[in-house]
Copies of this chain bind each other. A is one copy, B any other.
Amino acid sequence: MRRKPDGDQRRRDLCDAAITVLAAQGAKGLSHIKVDRAAGVAEGTTSAYFRTRAALLVATTERVVELDLVGLQKAKSAAGGEDPQTPRLADVVAAAAREPHLTRAKARYELNMLATREPAISDLVRRANEGFVELYRDMMLRLLPGGRDLPPSVIDDLSAITQTFINGLLGRYVVGDFSISEPDDIDRLLRRMVAAQDYS
C-alpha cells in the first residue's frame, strides 16, 4: 500500500472529488482522470491511490458513509442536549435538499444503483444503509410522546414508515423535486404519520 505522510488526507480529498463527479455526471461519468481534474491534481494521481475502478468506488462509498454518519451523529447528540436550537429529524432530512448535502445525496443515490451491479460495493452499501436504521429510529421516537413505551411491533412499523418516507424524500431531492423540503412541512408530515393511533 502506497502512502505519503499526508496519504490519508489525499485519499479523502480524492474521494470528495469523486463524490462531486458522481453527483454531477453520474456513474457513467466517473473515471480516474475526471477525479484528478475535479481534485485539481496531476493526472495519474487517483490511479496511484486507487488502482482499479472498484477500489475507487469502495473508497468513495466509505467516504460518503463516513460523512453521512458524522453529520447524523452530530445532529443526534445535539438533539439530546439542552439547546433549544437542536435539530429535529426534519431538519436533518431537509438539509439534504441543500448544498453541500445535496451533492452527497446524489452521489449516494448513484452508488446505491451501482451497488446492484458492482459486487465490490454491494455489501458495503447495504451495511451503510442499515447503519442509518437505528439513528433514524431514535430520532423518530422523539416525535412521539411515550413512543418508547409502544409495543415493539408498532415501533418497528413506525420506524419502517418514517425511514421509507425519508428514502422517498431524498430520492425526490436527487431528481430535483423540492416540493417537500421545508423543515416545518417535513416535521408536520412526520408527526402526522406517527401520530397517536389505535394500537390495540
Contacts and interface: CB of A to CB of B under 8 A. Distances in A.
Interface of A: 25-28, 106, 109-110, 112-117, 122, 125-126, 129, 157-158, 160-161, 163-169, 171-172, 174-177, 180, 188-189, 192-193, 195-198
A112 B171 CA distance: 9
Contacts of A164: 165, 168-169, 172, 180, 189
What is the oligomeric copy number?
A: 2
Contact of A160 (B28, B163, B180): B180
A167 B157 CA distance: 17
Contact of A198 (B113, B163, B168, B195): B195
B196 A193 contact: no
A13 to B, nearest CB: 25
A116 B102 CA distance: 13
A160 B165 CA distance: 10
Contacts of A195: 195, 197-198
Contacts of A193: 161, 165, 193
A25 B113 CA distance: 10
Contact of A171 (B26, B168, B189): B168
A174 B174 CA distance: 15
A88 B176 CA distance: 30
Given A25-B117, A160-B189, A171-B171, 19 more contacts: A26-B113, A27-B27, A27-B28, A106-B116, A115-B176, A116-B175, A125-B175, A157-B188, A157-B189, A160-B180, A163-B168, A164-B165, A164-B168, A167-B172, A168-B171, A193-B193, A195-B197, A195-B198, A196-B197
